[in-house]
Every structure is written in C-alpha cells, then in structure tokens.
C-alpha cells in the first residue's frame, strides 16, 4: 500500500468532525491532523469527550489551534487535503454578534485558503450550509437556486463558497462546498433542537417551540453526511463544485416532537414562542447532484437516527 494521504480536519473536536475522524481512521487509508480552538459556544468537556475514542490512534494527531492564526497552521507540516468543518455556528447567535461570525467564518476560511496556496494543498472540502438558500419556495432546492440568505451566519457561508471559487480559479485548488442540511446524530451539539428536546422531555422540562410547529427541516443523519464528505475527499472530476448533502425528506417540527416523545415514552411540555428572526420556514434538499458526483445515497430514516442519538445521549449525560 502507498503512502497514506494526510488530511487536516478543522473543528476536529466538534460534532460532525469527530464522527468523520472515527470513520476515516476505521478505513486505515489516511493520516489525520485535527485542530480545534475549543470555542466556548458549548462546553470544552463535551468536545474533549468527542476526541477520546481516537486520541491515542497512531494515525491521528490533535493540535489545539485557531484557523485565524497562520503561524499555527504553518507549523502543522505537510498535508494533502483540507476538510474545513470549523465555524462559529448558529443562526440566532450570529444576529447578536455578526462581526465575530464574519471574522471567524470568512476570515478563518480565507486564512486556510491562503495556507493551502502556500503549501500547495490541492483538495479543499468545505462545510457550507442549507441556510444559504434563505426563504425560497422553489422546493426541493437545487444548487442553481437564487440564494437569499437571511442571517449573518448564512451570509458567511455563502461568502466562503465564493472565496473557494476565487482560489480554485486562480490557484487550481479543487474546492468542494458541501451544503449540509440539519445534521443530527451521536455527539450532536447541545444547542440544537433534537439534543435540547431529548434533554427537556426526558427531564419533564418545557421545550420552546418557535411558531406553530409547521416549520419543516430536511433532517440528515450524521453517518449519511459523513459518507458524502468521504466521497468529496476522493472526488477528482472537476475543480469547483457546490453540492447539497441532505436527506431529500422534510419533517415538520410537530412530527419531530412526536417522534421524540415516542422514543422517550413521555409527552412534551410545549412552551410556545414567536418565530425567530433568521430562521427559515423550511429546508428541503434536491440531492440529485450529490448522487451523480459522489454516489451519495442517504440510508437512515428519522426514527432509526433519533434512536441512535438517544442511546448516545443516555450514555454521555
């Protein structure tokens, strides 16, 4: 077997990245360097717990570093591929602090692209978001839609996609922007709805429901998302692509709550709240491009995925 390709994974201690690292190490095909600055958006304790399963793996090195710090990046050594999953997350918090989101998400991505240029790294996989579509009634959304982001977070993701196009065009870096659709599963962030709902329903606490429960999301199980990322790591047919990674199914908030109630064996106490600025009424992915380019085929239905998350939740809280 030839030399293993070396991959830098940013946001390594986070939800999606830790699941990705687990899968890539299982494949035995790569040497991984994970970086994370342990942003205080949620607890360092959970992030460190996410790293425990592979921190001693000989094919994995973890470095506490910030994507905005070029000196830290340049100290990482030679690399073949960047998978950029680090970001200031969350639509609502971005409205409270838009300048910081711009600095971390856009400035950090710019820094990584410069790093890729300087080090001649030719493959760059970027975690974008379904939030770039904004309010758009032409569902399901395909990658050619007119984009109307309605939050600072969404606008930063769109900016990063365009930065990727610039660096792909000028410097021949293959840039793949993967638009994730409401990813959930083991190790999911505690601020996200599924995690919060399981916690509150299990403990008999009210859950905040924004609006009348009719908003809908294309919930995508993390293992399906990971398979899409893994295919993007290997992709070599073109130099710039934007690709949806969704489940191609929508679930209303009311349906989600009912499914979680069934798994917990308890009824939710609903705390009705007004709709939140920056939240879109629905997300729904057209995944035909992902099928065509990445052979992407999501396999996990909502009930199975929620049960998998609940088992992780019980073991880790």
Question: If you average pLDDT over residues 12-25, what whole number do you get?
Answer: 97
Q: Is the pLDDT of residue 171 over 80?
A: yes
Q: Is-contact 106 156, C-beta < 8 A?
A: yes
What is residue 43's predicted lDDT score, i.e. its pLDDT? 86
d(C-alpha 15, C-alpha 49), whole Å:
11
Which entry of 42, 133, 153, 219 is annotated as an active-site residue? 153
**Tally of CA atoms within 13 A in the half-sphere of 181 that contains its CB:** 30
d(C-alpha 97, C-alpha 189), whole Å:
19
- Is residue 313 flagged as an active site residue? no
Domain spans of the chain, in order of start: 5-184+222-246+287-298
What is residue 2's predicted lDDT score, i.e. its pLDDT? 64
Average pLDDT, the chain: 94
Q: Is the pLDDT of residue 263 over 90?
A: yes
Structure tokens belonging to residue 171: 């410097």
pTM assigned to the model: 0.95
Q: Is-contact 31 5, C-beta < 8 A?
A: yes
Superfamily of domain 5-184+222-246+287-298, CATH level 4: NAD(P)-binding Rossmann-like Domain (3.40.50.720)
Query: For the purposes of burial, counting CB atoms within 10 Å of the CB of 72, is it exposed (0-12), middle (13-18) or buried (19 or more)?
Result: middle
d(C-alpha 275, C-alpha 293), whole Å:
37
Question: If you average pLDDT over residues 286-297, what whole number do you get?
Answer: 98
What is residue 316's predicted lDDT score, i.e. its pLDDT? 87
Question: If you average pLDDT over residues 240-263, what whole number do you get?
Answer: 95
**At residue 20, what are phi and psi to the nearest 5 degrees?**
-65, -45
How far from the centroid of its chain's Cα atoms is residue 15's Cα?
Answer: 8
d(C-alpha 144, C-alpha 297), whole Å:
20
For the chain, state the CA radius of gyration: 19
Q: Give the rounded percent of residues in the chain with a pLDDT score beyond 70.
A: 99
The three-state secondary structure class of 240 is strand
């Amino acid at each position: 077997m030839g030399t293993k390709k070396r991959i830098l994974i940013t946001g390594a201690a986070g939800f999606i990245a830790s699941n990705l690292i687990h899968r890539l190490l299982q494949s035995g095909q790569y040497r991984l360097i994970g970086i994370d600055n342990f942003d205080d958006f949620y607890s360092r304790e959970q992030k460190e717990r996410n790293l425990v399963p592979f921190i001693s793996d000989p094919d994995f090195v973890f470095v506490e570093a910030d994507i905005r710090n070029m000196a830290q990046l340049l100290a990482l050594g030679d690399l073949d591929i960047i998978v950029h999953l680090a970001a200031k997350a969350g639509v609502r918090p971005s409205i409270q602090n838009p300048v910081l989101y711009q600095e971390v998400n856009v400035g950090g991505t710019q820094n990584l692209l410069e790093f890729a240029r300087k080090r001649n790294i030719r493959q760059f996989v970027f975690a974008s978001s379904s939030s770039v579509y904004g309010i758009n009634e032409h569902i399901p959304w395909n990658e050619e839609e007119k984009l109307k982001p309605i939050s600072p977070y969404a606008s930063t993701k769109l900016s990063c996609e365009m930065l990727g196009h610039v660096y792909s065009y000028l410097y021949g870096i293959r840039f793949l922007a993967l638009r994730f659709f409401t990813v959930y599963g083991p190790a999911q962030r505690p601020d996200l709805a599924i995690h919060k709902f399981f916690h509150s329903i299990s403990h008999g606490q009210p859950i905040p429901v924004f609006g009348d429960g009719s908003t809908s999301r294309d919930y995508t199980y993390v293992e399906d998302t990971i398979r899409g990322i893994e295919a993007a790591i290997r992709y070599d047919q073109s130099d710039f692509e934007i690709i949806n990674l969704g489940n191609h199914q929508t679930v209303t908030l009311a349906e989600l709550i009912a499914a979680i109630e069934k798994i917990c064996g308890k009824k939710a106490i609903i705390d009705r709240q007004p709709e939140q600025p920056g939240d879109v009424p629905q997300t729904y992915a057209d995944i035909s491009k992902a099928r065509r380019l990445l052979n992407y085929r999501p396999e996990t239905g909502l009930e199975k995925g929620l049960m998998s998350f609940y088992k992780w939740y019980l073991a880790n809280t």
